[in-house]
Structure 1
Amino acid sequence: MSNLEAGRTSVQLVWNDGNAGGAGRPVAWALGELSAALTQKGVHCTTSPTPTGPASLTVEVLTAQEAQGRIGGAEPPAAAESYLVHPDGERITVVGADATGTVYALLELAARVTHAEDPLPALAATRVESGAPAVPVRGIVRSFSSVDEDLPWFHDRTFWTEYLTWIAAARFNRFHLALGMQYNYGADKNGATDNYLCFAYPFLLDVDGFEVRAEGVDAAERDRNLETLRFIAAETKRRGLRFQLGLWNHAYDYGRDSVHRYPIVGIGPDNHADYCRAAIAQLLRAVPEIDGLTFRVHYEGGIHDENHEVFWSAVFEGADSVGRPLEIDMHAKGVDQALLDAVDRPMLSPVLSAKYWAEHLGLPYHQASIRAREAAKPIPPGHSMKGITEFSRRFTRYGYGDFLRDDRKVDLMFRVWPGTQKLLLWGDPAIAAGYGRLATFGGSRGVDVCEPLFFKGRKGSGEPGKRDPYIDPELQLGGHEWIKYRYTYLLWGRLLFDPESDPEVWRRHLRATYGTAAGDVETALSSLSRILPLVTVVHGVGGSNNGYWPEVYVNLATSARVQATHYAFDTDDPKNWGGVSPFDPTTFYAIDEYVADAARGAVSGKYTPLEVAGWIEDLVTEGRKALDRARAASDPTDAQVRRTLIDLEVLVRLGTFFAGKFRSAVDYSTFRATGDPRHLESALAHYRPARDAYASILDVVDGVYQPDMRFGVERSEHGHWSDRLPEIDADVAALAEELAEASPDAARSDLPPVPPRPVEPGVAHVQPPHFERGAPLSLTLEVLAPDSVTGATLHYRHVDQSESFRTTAMQPSGDGGLIGTIDAEYTASSYPLMYFFDVEHRDGGRAMLPGLAPDLSNQPYLTLSALPGAAG
């Protein structure tokens, strides 16, 4: 009779911490989590170096070295953060390649216990399982942006232990606490007011040899801040995560008549660099758990672009002097060779961190091309402060720039900024898995994800007690607002670790949270969470997160009679919907561009705004049906259920609004091109219900959210959906006015019919394994539908966003296929190549290969690396 059949309800956790060395603390913590989960379920649990007697089940933790020859012939895991769970009868052996891998395995067992009705059979049913990370860097970024809203959670140790535990269980491996990220020196119109922990050193340290301090912060408060930072770092490391401290600002005075709440005294141009050199060294010694530092090294971090390497060399020297290995994460915007030379020091490992989709959440692929306005420009006289960032290397602002050459000496990673969604619950497994597959694009290291509610209270907009966005007391979260977004963290972390994760990983959480409505909540969130990232990609009206917030959208007019003011600084002429460039103008059409091509019968394979509108409508339909089912099956008195259903209702209405706007803007652009007022009538017919959908958000959120949700002081950083409605109404009224003035006798004119996109591209392509530098590269298509396909165009460029795509018409290959060749001069480069095909059909329809999949979560182009060892 087995121990389980005998009814024993005890588990032995066997672990020899004496063999673990410095890795012991995270493993001991994870064993504690498993033990607590078992105890909570009524199972007696013991932990010892060796088995102590009969038990229902034994869980033994071995190092990879100890496991050699002891796990049924299986090879112990070797890759960083990998693990193996090996059951054998009433014993489960857990082997980690390192402490982090062991932690992941133990926390997975703890999750199974937590979500099981009967934990011991659930554990006993464990099968052989292994895991290894797909993405080396999987980070969460949390910003301290407001002394009024953030100081409470900063010092709340209960918050930290719960939050960091969830982050670790979600399999993030890096926590980035960002200080000073809330202000952009030289770009903020009104300077800085709430500068608490912005220029961080004097809020944490009394630096030896200097009399620098923050007025209003006494020694006791300063010491408490440092002690809290030490606690956060230690708790992060205890869970097996790396601790990254972001010091995003090095300006001690923001100028522009700034009225700092905590003026920094005792510092000036003569001692600034020396103070920072000494301060960074003292901070690193005071907090030995700091694994790396993130710096904003362009002018918005407080150091002018001109001769920036002089200041940063001092800071890097201070970090290097501590004598321990440190990762130096340099925000990539504006980085040049002088900075790379300055950071080249023995103990420092530099990494550049680029923005993934400007300052927003987009689809998982990296934009095939950046907007034309991001191209490099000559530096005008008098612009030395921001000459590199805004002019000569402007193309580094919103993507990977020219940093992905194969012979680079500095690693690259990405950061997902908080522009698209700051507030509403997000959860799409398809998009999260897409990021898990594509965050390592070009050999990059991974991604930092800026968490929900990022920048709440930014730029002095915070108020005491207003961190929680809810005014409904039944929905408020009592200072632990992150709990609403546990599903968001879980999807990002687990699917960055393994894009092929078993859906049970998140579905058990959904069942525990939503009960019988779990499946419908999953479907509704997945469909509706895909809408705003898609809108962001196609409607690239502003790259900065403070200037464009699709979730609480400041209207850009469709009518040319309404003058754009808010978006005027960051979008092209004409400044209305028709003129807006997508963030990826190679894959998606701008509206006026599409209408112009349609008018001349030359629509390419790019995705059209009408196709985008159709996709959004389909997502709304699917999400709406699932939402209705979820409402019927869920507990309406549960606070998290209410929060979720409210947010889903808002997303349904936002999707309806944006789909209608795309259709209306196409109609309006067609009216402008043809003069036929029927198209203006159609524009209004699409816009009015879109407007009504946006207006109906007010009924959903009445009494729910703050009337002014403050993420900053700019128009797109704060406010409420109700604030946006008057401008939408003014736009509708302007279109109606144009229609009233249109001549009823105007000639009827329409665009030539646009052939539909073929259901199948009609061709197939086998990607070669590599290309040879300095040799011609021929790419071929097999024609699967010879009666339909009439030709194709090859689009290609280096993996360098400072370049434009080149094209070549593909020629018959002699075997019924098509062939296109990239010449030897172009392949003689240190960059990988990227390419796609625009396929022409006999009826005029065009298809992109590979194009986007139905879930919008793949890469619509192919990348190709050079033959290893080939000369460049």
Structure 2
Amino acid sequence: MNEQNPVTTGRTATWAMEQLVQALAEKGITAADPPVRLATLDEVPAADLADVPESYAVLRVDDEIVVVSNDEIGLRCGVLELADRVAAGEDLAGTTPFAEQPAVPVRGVVRSFSSVDEDSPWFHDRRFWTEYLTWLAASRFNRFHLALGMQYNYGADRHGATDNYLCFVYPFLFDVDGYEVQAEGVGADEQKRNLDTLRFIAAESKRRGLKFQLGLWNHAYDYGRDSVHRYPITGIGPETHAEYCKAGIAKLLTECPDIDGLTFRVHYEGGIPDDKHEIFWRAVFEGANSVGRPLEVDMHAKGVDQALLDAVDLPNLSPVLSAKYWAEHVGLPYHQASIRAKETAKPIPPGHELKGITEFSRRFTRYGYGDFLREDRTVDLMFRVWPGTQKLLAWGDPAIAAGYGRLSTFGGSRGVDFCEPLFFKGRKGSGEPGKRDPYVREDLRLSDNREWTKYRYGYLLWGRLLYNPDAEPETWRRHLRATYGEAAAHVEDALSPLSRILPLVTVVHGVGGSNNGYWPEVYLNLPISSRVESPHYAADTDPPVNWGGVSPFDPTTFYAIDEYVAALASGSVSAKYTPLEVAAWIERLVDDGQQALDRARETADESDAQVRRVLIDLEILVRMGRFFAGKFRAAVDYSIYRTTKQVSALESAVEACQAARDAYAEIPGIVDGVYQPDLRFGIETSEHGHWEDRIPAIDADLAALEEELKEATGTQQVTQLAQAPARPATAGVDHKVPASFDRGKPVTLSLDVVEPDVIGATLHYRHVDQSKPWQQVPMELSGQTLSGTIDSEYTSSTYPLMYFFSVQHRTGGQALYPGLAADLSNQPYVVLGSSTVTG
């Protein structure tokens, strides 16, 4: 090793080599044979190394293995790959050359401190941090985001705040000269302990090559409303708020030099009213800038306007906007082709200045990338995957993880932060001492702050496949074999399809964008029957508030249920995916998962606690899949009945709803005495509870359908709906994507017809701007080519274009092109940049 090279001798490279030495020692090997050496490209110019940061190559040079990279993260990736192979029992002597490069520049994990009762133990547990951060590094993440104050939404939480520990962070860490601001009950010793812990976390993150991002999601010192703070903040008022925070952020960055960046929630839910928000934030940004070192300032994109972008324009600050990927949930890997109609911009009503920008004039920034992806933008954008869909159960689908690896850089964005499992556990004052571990059964409990270890496989898939979506399966199968033994392949084959179900349900059943109100994993029932009211969901979905009226989160690609039935009635079914197709997909995933689960049970060593945990979760996911498939089918049948008065359709709805109910009702028996009877991720109805709690509402809906059927029996049918033409097996066309388009010039897009049944197509297009609607133009057939043109006025824009085709067949069926692949993990449209950028 060249002692003069700061890359090969830096703290991350040194730490990585220590991990390799440790892996060898655990196998009884005192020194690597052949020896491993670190080098940069100027030292080993023959290395096949991509000119991309964090790339690496592993070579055989004479009698050595040489790991080559031009940065420490690349060296870390290569060395830890070797350590992983050693741990799996492989002989380094058999190492052949290989190289990799990252697909996604930012690959982050977010952990939230949400409860003083449940989170303080892990926060101060240095053994936990050592193990946890090591696993993140080995999984090839390169950023760790510790989120403080994320658990409350100022101005949006109906009951204010109680557990405000570390929410308004500064007085919990230190005193600020010139101010008498205190968190009552927090003395100097506790402040010092908190600050020392924060320094430790930052330093250990950096040592492992993880950029340390500190999230300060709240800047309100008093949540108002009915708040009874456990740690009241004193000595501050409106007149000193901004200047205190300016001084506080400067001191924080000085006291904790390993902070690489700061994440701020800059809209009203972070405690600062939208009206004139740039004044407060300019003071905070000036405080950060005054420290004199480069810092990334990650602004949560919701509600960001030009005034905020101007406020952060300071020499030491690199601003980044972080948008939500699929609202506050985990969806399929592609980005929604359109947002719900509910998310469009609206005029600001008088008296709503607190949230005017976020909720009204720029509402379209709440749950997606909004209008931030112009090609001439001056601020980078990245994504954050929120924890609404699945908080608790095991997850593991290489197809979806690889899809995120391919699509997290959508529109030239930088990458993604993932909110980890158990996120928001104990949120909003719902936490209790000793309740972080969700298990109550003694043989399944994960004590000593090791709850995260249940999810090692999920972390590994996300990190490795964000780094390289084409990674060899052996990348994760080594871990599966070490964890599940002979059942490893079957566990993989069960988890993969079953893990795809809830992201699919989330995309199609967009009943609530907020994770506060919609938790598909422990689903709070939305009724199918129009006779049952559901006030819970009324705030975040348009009427009618039942299954038939719910918009998908992507209404361009998927039909809502009533919308689909109306199209059936009018004979105008388009190429969008129907709820019956979604039900069939879920049923296929359940069948595949159930068969693999049966095989896993035959081979699994159920004396192992982790094996038992994953088998239980797989059983739950099977029932959840059957439940949602049944609900989709029942809701379509009910909508048909409401449209036609066809009693047989109502009979089918009752039958499908009964089957869904029966599947869901099996879950409490599976988890009896396994999980906490009240899984508390917050105080709202759908943020806590148990599967058993949800059954009465499901039963009430079923009873209402049965009553309606009883009344309808013997009545006369009004109309009969024709069946929709079947979707063609293939689109029947090919398309060559142009290299780019020229701004201000028309762009013609063509399809080659490869199947004689194709009789026409429509080109759908828009700017990569979620505030704008889709346009469409019929395509003209000439010989075996269909062509459609986007006019020059539309291409006179600084936005990239996105487009897809709906293809008509002679049978009357239609297909989407490119559409969704069988694994649901691709992008069903094309994104095309301009020659101004690509040239």
TM-score (norm 2): 0.99
- The residue identity in structure 2 corresponding to 1:30 is A
1:23 shift after superposition: 5.8
Give 1:539's aligned residue: 509
| In structure 2, distance between residues paired with 1:28 and 1:161 | 16
1:100-146 C-alpha deviation (Å, 9 max, x unpaired): 11111111111000011xx4xx2111111111110000000000000
Aligned partner letter, 1:515:
G
Of 19-28 and 733-742, deviating more is 19-28
Q: Kindly state the Cα deviation for residue 863 of structure 1 after the two structures are TM-superposed.
A: 0.8
Q: Which residue of 2 aligns with 1:604?
A: 574
Q: In the alignment, is the contact (CA less than 8 A) between 1:580 and 1:591 conserved in 2?
A: yes
Q: In the aligned structure 2, how far is the partner of 1:546 from the partner of 1:493?
A: 27
> Shift of the alpha carbon at 1:76?
5.0
Is 2:32 the partner of 1:59?
no
Aligned to 2:373: 404
Which residue of structure 1 aligns with residue 717 of structure 2?
747
> Paired residue for 1:104?
77
Q: What is the Cα deviation at residue 548 of structure 1?
A: 0.2
Deviation at 1:745, TM superposition (A): 3.2
Within 5 Å, give how 1:498-509 maps onto structure 2.
498-509=468-479
Indicate if the aligned counterparts of 2:381 and 2:413 stay in contact, CA closer than 8 A: yes
Deviation at 1:816? 2.9
3-state SS of 2:140 partner: coil
Instruction: State the partner residue of 1:650.
Output: 620
Q: 1:257 deviation in Å?
A: 2.6
The question of whether the paired residues in 2 share the 8 Å contact of 1:617 and 1:655 is answered with yes
Task: Give the C-alpha shift of residue 63 in structure 1.
Answer: 2.7
Cα distance in structure 1, aligned partners of 2:182 and 2:12: 36
Q: 1:95 aligns with which of 57, 68, 75?
A: 68
Shift in CA distance, 264/661, structure 1 to aligned 2, threshold 3 Å: same
Give secondary structure in 2 for the equivalent of 1:466: coil
How many residues are paired up?
838
Q: CA deviation at 1:859?
A: 0.2
Q: Quote how far apart the aligned CAs of 1:553 are.
A: 0.1
Match of 1:417 among 366, 369, 386: 386
**Pick from 806, 822, 831: which aligns with 1:854?**
822
Structure 1 position 315 matched with structure 2 position 301: no
* Native 8 Å contact 1:77 1:95 kept in 2: no
How many Å separate the matches in 2 of 1:811 and 1:650? Answer: 50
Superimposed CA distance per residue, residues 838-862 of structure 1 (whole angstroms, 9 cap, x where no aligned partner)? 1111111010000000000000001
Structure 2 counterpart of 1:349, one-letter code: S
Matches for 1:746-765 after TM superposition, within 5 Å: 746-747=716-717, 749-765=719-735
For structure 1, which segment, 195-204 or 56-65, has the greater mean C-alpha deviation from structure 2 after superposition? 56-65
Partner of 1:351: 320
The answer on whether the counterparts of 1:76 and 1:97 sit within 8 Å (CA) in structure 2 is no
User: How many Å apart are 1:74 and its aligned residue?
Assistant: 2.9
CA contact (8 A) 2:677 2:690 kept: yes
1:86 partnered with 2:86: no
CA distance in 1, matches of 2:654, 2:357: 45
Match of 2:112 in 1: 143
**CA offsets, 1:667-717, max 9 Å, x none?**
000000001111100001111011000000011100100000000000110
Take 1:58 and 1:615, find their aligned partners in 2: how far apart are those partners? 50
Q: Secondary structure at the match of 2:444?
A: coil
In structure 2, what is the Cα distance between the partners aligned to 1:802 and 1:748? Answer: 41
Decide which of 657, 672, 691 is 2:661's aligned counterpart: 691
Q: Deviations over 1:444-495 (max 9, x none)?
A: 0000000000000000000000000000011111021000000000000000
Is 1:818 equivalent to 2:786 in the alignment?
yes
- Alignment correspondent of 1:615: 585
Partners of 1:29 and 1:742 in 2: CA distance: 72
For the Cα contact (< 8 Å) 1:164–1:239, is it kept in 2?
yes
SS of the counterpart of 1:474?
A: helix
2:157 equivalent among 184, 188, 194: 188
Is 1:719 the counterpart of 2:705? The answer is no
The separation in 2 between residues aligned to 1:88 and 1:518, in whole angstroms, is 35
Whether contact under 8 Å (2:740, 2:838) holds in the other structure is: no
Q: Can you give the 5+ residue segments of structure 2 that lack an aligned partner in the other structure? A: none
- 1:234-273 to structure 2, matched below 5 A, reads 234-273=203-242
Task: Quote how far apart the aligned CAs of 1:766 are.
Answer: 1.1
CA distance in 2, matches of 1:807, 1:236: 49
Q: In the alignment, does 2:448 pair up with 1:448?
A: no
Give the letter for the 2:6 counterpart: A
| SS in structure 1 at match of 2:828 | coil
> Which residue number corresponds to residue 156 of structure 1?
125
Please report the RMSD computed on the Cα atoms of aligned residues, expressed in angstroms. Answer: 1.2
Quote the offset at 1:584 in angstroms. Answer: 0.1
| Offset at residue 830 of structure 1 (A) | 0.4
Runs ≥4 residues deviating over 6 A: none
- How far the C-alpha of 1:209 sits from its partner, in A, is 1.2
* Preserved CA contact (<8 Å) 2:7 2:13: no
Q: Are 1:771 and 2:748 matched, yes or no?
A: no
Once the 2 structures are TM-superposed, how far is the Cα of residue 441 of structure 1 from its aligned partner? 0.2
Cα deviation, 1:540-559, whole Å, max 9, x if unaligned, reads: 00000011000000000000
Work out the CA distance in 2 between the residues paired with 1:405 and 1:82.
28
User: How far apart are the structure 2 equivalents of 1:24 and 1:739?
Assistant: 73
Task: Assess if the C-alpha contact under 8 Å between 1:778 and 1:820 holds in 2.
Answer: yes
Q: Aligned residue for 2:651?
A: 681
The aligned counterpart of 1:11 is none
Q: What code does the residue aligned with 2:525 have? A: N
The one-character-per-residue Cα deviations of 1:247-272 (angstroms, maximum 9, x if unpaired) are 00000000003100000001110100
Q: How far does residue 815 in structure 1 lie from its aligned partner after superposition?
A: 2.8
Indicate the SS of the match to 2:776: strand
Letter in 1 for 2:428: K
Q: Residue 90 of structure 1 contacts residue 124 of structure 1 at CA under 8 Å; is this kept in 2?
A: no
| Partner secondary structure for residue 620 of structure 2 | helix
2:135 matched to 1:166?
yes
SS at match of 1:290: coil
* CA positional deviation for 1:65: 2.8
**2:8 maps to 1:38:** no
Q: Is the 8 A contact 1:67 1:76 kept in 2?
A: no
- SS of 1:529's partner is helix
Amino acid at match of 2:237: G
- Rounded to whole Å, the distance in 1 between the matches of 2:61 and 2:303 is 55
Q: Is the 8 A contact 1:134 1:437 kept in 2?
A: yes
Find the aligned partners of 1:252 and 1:870 in 2 and give their Cα distance: 47
- State the alpha-carbon separation in 2 of the partners of residues 774 and 106 from structure 1: 49
The amino acid across from 2:743 in the alignment is R
C-alpha deviation, 1:88, in angstroms: 3.6
> C-alpha distance in 1, partners of 2:790/2:47?
46
Aligned equivalents of 1:23, 1:375: Cα separation in 2: 52
The CA distance in 2 between the partners of 1:669 and 1:260, in whole Å, is 48
Letter in 2 for 1:322: V
In the alignment, which residue of structure 1 is the partner of 2:675?
Answer: 705
Task: Indicate the percent of aligned positions where both proteins have the same amino acid.
Answer: 69
Residue identity matched to 1:270: E
Deviation at 1:768, TM superposition (A): 1.0
Residue 832 of structure 1, aligned match among 794, 800, 817: 800
Q: CA deviation at 1:743?
A: 4.5
Q: C-alpha deviations, 1:491-523, integer Å up to 9, x for none?
A: 000000000001101001000000010001001
Deviation for aligned residue 1:90: 3.4
- In structure 2, relative to structure 1, the CA distance for the partners of 1:625 and 1:743 (3 Å cut) is closer
In structure 2, distance between residues paired with 1:281 and 1:19? 33
Query: Partner of 1:353: helix, strand, or coil?
Result: strand
- Give, in angstroms, the shift of residue 33 of structure 1: 0.6
1:395 equivalent among 364, 389, 392: 364
Instruction: Give CA-to-partner distance per residue, 1:210-262, whole Å, 9 cap, x none.
Output: 11110010100010000000000000001011000000000000000310000
Partner residue, 2:558: 588
Distance 2:797 2:719 in 1: 50
Partner residue, 1:797: 766
The equivalent residue for 1:9 is: none
Return the letter of the residue paired with 2:324. Answer: K
1:146-199 per-position Cα deviation (integer Å, ceiling 9, x unaligned): 000000000000000000000000000000000000000000000000000001
Change beyond 3 A, Cα 1:869–1:534? closer
What's the CA shift for 1:22?
Answer: 9.3
Question: Is the 8 Å Cα contact of residues 773 and 870 (structure 1) preserved in structure 2?
Answer: no
- Which blocks of at least 5 consecutive residues in structure 1 are unaligned? 1-14, 46-54
- Whether the 8 Å CA contact 1:761–1:849 is kept in 2: the answer is yes
- The aligned residue for residue 434 of structure 1 is 403
Number of the residue aligned with 1:291: 260
